[in-house]
Structure 1
Amino acid sequence: MTDAAQQRLLLVHAHPDDESIGTGATMAKYVSMGRGVTLVTCTAGEMGEVLVPELAYLAADQEDRLGEHRRGEIADAMKVLGVTDHRWLGGFGTYRDSGMQWHDEGYAIPADDTHHNAFWNADLGKAADDLVQIIREVKPQVVVTYNPFGGYGHPDHIQAHRVSMLGTALARVAAHRRDLGEAWDVSKLYWTALSQTSIQRAIDTLQAGGEDPGFLSMILMMASPDEDLAARVDAREMTEKKLDALRAYPTQVAADGPFFQRSDALGDGGWGEEYYTLAHGTRGPVGDDGLEADLFAGLV
């Protein structure tokens, strides 16, 4: 295995707070191990709901200054996780949060109207090349992004998936845009995932105690069958850091919300175990659970 200091992970997320929700424990663990961690955020989350009443004026339908505020929130979250290399795809403000609406069946779909600069409307080739440039500079062995459904259907998550898939493919082609740097072949590409079994177990625990699983029922819709999982990063020692990173997003994550209330129902793993599906590359050695314990497993 390559020395930890030479191992580099690059994560592509849609909005500020997505990285902490889905991969915060993994990021904090790898930073603590001395591995390189680079976060690429595609939009500033301009269309997000503002949960702090006194900051309601920042909303898109008022002064439209939420993106700049969330820029500060993600900076605070990265300090908590220890991540020092954070980039905005194409530069801050290049792509705008597309917004979304809820389908009757409980998943996200594009909004009826989107801003002309919305990430959902971006030229896929241009956005992919913005990522190619970062990949060729950082030279990560491992890239993490969303699955084709974006987890729950959000158009920006789906677009982040498309950009990541195309960007990693183009980055390895020497003849493609030599001006963006020397070709780099990412060894492994993962999609973030949730364990169907773990979420169902938490729901069963709550229901057995007479509690409404609420939020976890929606999460179950996003979960993957366990046979589709390839890796489980056990970063339970980083759970509090992950939750502290989420607390850095008061406009988006309620302090008394389900992320904090449902930690106990998820059992020993809580929010500190994060799962991944392998989309590209060769699976490395696995443990007794049939999963890799390390996203760099098998790389030399």
Structure 2
Amino acid sequence: MPDRRLLLVHAHPDDESIQCGLTMARYVAEGAHVTLVSCTLGEHGEVLIPDLAHLAAEHEDRLGPQRLVELSDAMGHLGVTDFRRLGGDGAYRDSGMVWDENGNAAPMDEIDPRAFWRADLLEAANHLVAVIRELRPQVLVTYDEFGNYGHPDHIQAHRVSTYAAALAAVDSHRRDLGPAWDVPKVYWTAESASRLREGARLMAEAGQEMPFEFDLENLPPMFSEDEALSAAISSTPEHVQAKLDAMKAHATQITPDGQFFAMGLDLAAITWGTEFYRLAKGVAGPAGVSGFEEDLFAGLG
């Protein structure tokens, strides 16, 4: 195995490209072993391509295989060859979500028995324990306790990752899953509040409206002020383009003329050209010129 090993745990295909695509492309290019674990195939995702609308859960319910194809294409753009589903294909199903009366993401009223939100926490965590002990990553990336924007599967991915990282380090726990491994650094994905406000300013100067509706003075928990952020990962223009191409590969979920690219590709490259993280476990490395860690592996022996 390469000296540097990065493990990312995401809920559905496309989450990884939106939030961590640049990070993944950069570390692959630098020779690190990058592994993605997707907890579901996103079977309840909205289908944005009319010709494929029949695949949706409410119709033929065949979106999962299509999203796996899209994930494979996206990983090709990022250079990632090790991407897996938690517990294997079909072990857990997308739980879906609705917006409640307060505007927050919530589980659907009726969900499949295999929905990830209903997963037994210990069982799901042990699937990930096996991966952690196999790969022995120095860095694990997942969501915070809010699941970024609150999708039930994101919250569950946080819980499973947190539990698995703890269990993997216990020598007496499930020795059949491999020798114990204590992941040195754990990061949670984050969105920069200051970067969002700067993007809004640039769009206003260009005479454009923000594609996402946020109260910039009262942002939801998914956005963090600078003092809460730990790392800011940037890379070359080629890796930024790889991220944008990976996002577009998730064609049923992200359209080139949709919200993610509504600001035009040049501004999109600026917007998506830095990925932010909060350090949840481990010792922070030295800050770079950005004022944040600029290498998730910094500070490791």
Kindly report the root-mean-square deviation, in angstroms, between the aligned alpha carbons of the 2 structures.
Answer: 1.8
Query: In structure 1, what is the Cα distance between the partners aligned to 2:215 and 2:154?
Result: 17
* Distance of aligned partners of 1:213 and 1:38 in 2 relative to their CA distance in 1, 3 Å threshold: same
Amino acid at match of 1:147: D
Match of 1:174 in 2: 171
Query: Could you tell me the TM-score, scaled by structure 2's length?
Result: 0.94
1:62-81 matched pairs, under 5 angstroms: 62-81=59-78
Query: In structure 1, what is the Cα distance between the partners aligned to 2:13 and 2:269?
Result: 27
1:1-300 matched pairs, under 5 angstroms: 5-215=2-212, 217=214, 221=220, 222-237=222-237, 238-262=239-263, 269-300=270-301
Tell me the SS of whatever aligns to 1:6.
Answer: coil
Q: Is the CA contact (8 Å cut-off) linking 2:10 and 2:36 kept in structure 1? A: yes
* Distance of aligned partners of 1:288 and 1:216 in 2 relative to their CA distance in 1, 3 Å threshold: farther
**Greater alpha carbon shift after TM alignment, 249-258 vs 138-147:** 249-258
Query: In structure 2, what is the Cα distance between the partners aligned to 1:283 and 1:269?
Result: 26
Amino acid at match of 1:260: F
Amino acid at match of 1:81: L
Query: In structure 1, what is the Cα distance between the partners aligned to 2:231 and 2:20?
Result: 13
Tell me the SS of whatever aligns to 2:2.
Answer: helix
Q: Is the CA contact (8 Å cut-off) linking 2:203 and 2:263 kept in structure 1? A: no
C-alpha distance after superposition, 1:194-229 (max 9, x if no partner): 111010111122234443213163895321111110
Q: Is the CA contact (8 Å cut-off) linking 2:11 and 2:38 kept in structure 1? A: yes
Amino acid at match of 1:63: E
Residue-pair matches, total = 297
Query: Could you tell me the TM-score, scaled by structure 1's length?
Result: 0.94
Is there any run of 5+ residues in structure 1 with no aligned partner, and where? none
Is there any run of 5+ residues in structure 2 with no aligned partner, and where? none
C-alpha distance after superposition, 1:23-64 (max 9, x if no partner): 000000000000110000000000011111111111111111
Amino acid at match of 1:163: V
